[in-house]
Amino acid sequence: MTTVLPPEAPSAGSAPAPAARPSTFAPARLAGIGHYFPGEPVRNDHFEAMEALGIDDAWIREHTGISSRHWPEDDKERAVEMAVKAVDRALEQAGLEPDDIDLVIGTTSTTRPRVNPSSATNNYMDISLPLQHQAGLKRATCFDVGAVACAGFMYSSSVACALLPVMGIRNALVVCAENPRPILNFDYRYSALFGAGAAAAVWSADTAEPGLLDVVLHSDGEHFNAFDIDENDKMIMRGRQVGDLGPKLLVQAGRELLERNKLKVSDVDWFIPHQGNLNMINQVCAELELPEDRVLTNIQKRGNTSSVSIPSCLAENVEAGVIRPGDLIASVGIGRGFSWGAMLFRYQ
């Protein structure tokens, strides 16, 4: 399994463009990607001190693959404040200014009115509008995509690329931000899973070649109760239900994406799965017969960052020089309820 920031990792080489199934999107390229994680790493010994949990570093690594995660160190840094820093990096990479952004789509699974507001200055849960103000994105139309949780980057990127030609605009910004700590119940072991962070992606219409090639999206509300909120406004996760269904749905989406684009696994440069649990990732990779040296992960050091996990892993590997312009990338993800899917795209 390839982790973030490996030393001098070589590119797997650019795969040929899939020609069998033309893209249904107007040409839009991934022009910039940025990430941000708050504070110092919170290591597993933090949970060892919680005697009621009955877990230690070895247990957490064995059951999740996680050695550390990040949380904001004070209440002045919330989802939007983190998002601003990710946006700055994405704009810098894209060579754009805030006034160049026409559309902002925010997504999160962890903000809540009052108990876990999205920004330090307001008690609402929205991402895009307070972000527009804080990041100086004055020209942008803003809205949030909700109800898809960990699959937020795929859903929001699909919406963004579809709206570029419909609205006649050039640059859309997709922003994922998560701050789970205020809604975690530290009486349950699942609390060791989740980390905070933000990621931002710029999709631009100034290209003749499509960057986003295909997206597979599915939903099944039968499993909506796999996640809930208790009377104390803390998150409930029914881990067995997620663990039983999640890998099957991710494998299904990955196979569908490859088959309908007439691609073999060897045609794809990099695979980025949702960073939910390393054991789940390994199960999905084995079922899809993905080579370990083509699978990118950051869950080991970042934890499960929900909607942030796929774009932050992408951003860290772009920054490290692992992912290079022209590389073909496939990603699979699943979110609460369940919403799941896969996306195929080229980086720049």
* Cβ neighbours of 103 (radius 10 Å): 23
**First CA to last CA across the chain, in angstroms?**
24
**Neighbouring C-beta atoms of residue 295, cutoff 10 Å:** 19
Q: Quickly state the pLDDT bin for 240 (edges 50, 70, 90).
A: confident
Amino acid 36 reads Y
Closest CA to 201 of 159, 261, 257: 159
- Quick one: average pLDDT of 171-189? 97
Active site residues: 150, 274, 304
For residues 339 and 334, give the distance between their C-alpha atoms in angstroms, rounded to a whole number.
Answer: 6
Query: Is 312's pLDDT higher than 70?
Result: yes
Please give the pLDDT value at position 12.
42
Q: Residue range 24-41: average pLDDT?
A: 90
Burial of 230 (0-12, 13-18, 19+ CB in 10 A): exposed
pLDDT at 232 over 70: yes
Least confident of 81-95, 116-130, 198-212, 306-320: 198-212
How high is the pLDDT of residue 138?
Answer: 97
The domain limits of the chain are 1-348
Does the predicted model carry a pTM greater than 0.75? yes
The CA-based dihedral angle spanning residues 186, 272, 293, 211, taken in that order and rounded to the nearest 10 degrees = -160
Task: List % helix, strand, coil for the chain (3-state, nearest 5).
Answer: 40, 25, 40
Element containing residue 84 per DSSP (H, E): helix 79-94
* pLDDT for 13 beyond 80: no
Task: Given CATH 3.40.120.10, say whether it is the number of domain 1-348.
Answer: no
Is residue 86's pLDDT more than 90?
A: yes
The answer to whether the beta carbons of residues 153 and 311 sit under 8 Å apart is yes
Top pLDDT among 348 and 344 is at 344
Can you tell me the distance from the alpha carbon of 188 to that of 184, in angstroms, rounded to the nearest whole number? 9
pLDDT of residue 348: 85
Per-residue pLDDT, 332: 98
